[in-house]
Amino acid sequence: MFQKFLNSLKRPGNESILEAIQKGYQSIFEVIDYRPSKESEAFLNQFGVTGEYLNYIGSGDFGTAYSMGNGKVFKITSSKSEFEIANEIMKINNLDNIATIFATAKTPSGYLIAMEELEEDSDIEYMFSLAQEVLETQGLPTIYIGNFDEDDYVEQNGEIDPKLKKFMDELSEVVWDYKRITGDGGDIRSENMGRSKDGTLKAFDIDDRYR
């Protein structure tokens, strides 16, 4: 894939661009054109998927995620804590607002995780920021949304917009499940939330600051 891309740039005037890409950005295309190890291939096979059908989603500080195309995400990560948390999630019942973990594995090339694929919702980031503004009026971080005093807020600031109130109720459910895994150490971020097929707000890539 990467070589094909380079060939498309081989025309007069693109010399400097081509050189920069070859030197600095080849690793990006190698990630996108990922070829699973034997262990990863065996892990994927249990879901009826092979490496050639993976679709790149994105990369973070510790890992890279790919869509399996069957409602599941395959993630390879170097984070031991992420792997441990994923295993804990599989043992806890009724985590309705956390992305389902289907399987995990430890391999020489990294930790493997198969999880529920959530749908992006462009409103989440905006509504999350509004919710944070409301919580900040009472000095509350997101993880303590359960301590929010709505009556006091309304008395001081007026009624909360119904759409925002609905989102804050959903966020409270996410935080409740999040704290069952991390306690008060959870670091909840809007970019790590999405919606399941039935529209439920869920968190994924659970982060515990104390691990």
pLDDT for 61: 75
Tell me, yes or no, whether 4 lies in a domain: no
- Is 42 part of any domain? yes
The count of structural domains within the chain is 2
* pTM assigned to the model: 0.80
Q: Where a domain ends, among 84, 116, 148?
A: 116
89, 115 Cβ separation under 8 angstroms? no
**Residue 90 shares a structural domain with residue 130:** no
Q: Judge if 70 and 139 occupy the same domain.
A: no
Element of type H or E holding 59: strand 55-59
Per residue in 124-158, pLDDT (tens digit) is 999 999 999 999 999 999 999 999 999 999 999 99
Domain span holding position 111: 34-116
Top-ranked range on mean pLDDT: pick from 2-6, 140-144, 187-191: 140-144
Those residues whose C-beta lies under 8 Å from the C-beta of residue 80, and which sit 6 or more positions away, are 111
The confidence score (pLDDT) of residue 207 equals 74
| Residues 199, 151 within the same domain | yes
Looking at the structure, tell me whether residues 40 and 111 fall in a common domain. yes
